[in-house]
Amino acid sequence: MLYMVIERFNEGAAPEIYRRARERGRMLPPGLAYLGSWVDLKFRRCFQLMSTEDAALIDEWRAAWHDLVAFEVIPVRSSAEAAKAIASSLG
């Protein structure tokens, strides 16, 4: 399963977020895969694509960052999967 994770950095937390990541890595539990990320130009939000078969692992990962970041986690599918899923409704 794919998840789009929107991280909203706490005010002024960007330097500490990057410091922690440099020192400890992403702190992902086994079974949670990081696929890519994009950060806005003002260091306020990060958009990450993650993959796991166990959604509880996302909560475990979030716990390591909760003091610096607020999270929104959205289950997503690829565009190709979406097209296939809706094909029968197109008529």
Domain ranges across the chain: 2-89
Report the distance separating Cα 76 and Cα 63, nearest Å: 22
Tokens (6 digits) for 31 = 């079974």
Model's pTM, two decimal places? 0.91
| Interatomic CA distance for residues 8 and 62, integer angstroms | 12
Per-residue pLDDT band for 52 (boundaries 50, 70, 90) equals very high
Residue 37 to residue 34: CA distance in whole angstroms: 8
Instruction: Say if residue 64 is exposed, middle or buried (CB neighbours under 10 Å; 0-12, 13-18, 19+).
Output: middle
In tens, the pLDDT along 53-82 reads 999 999 999 999 999 999 999 999 999 999
CATH hierarchy code of domain 2-89: 3.30.70
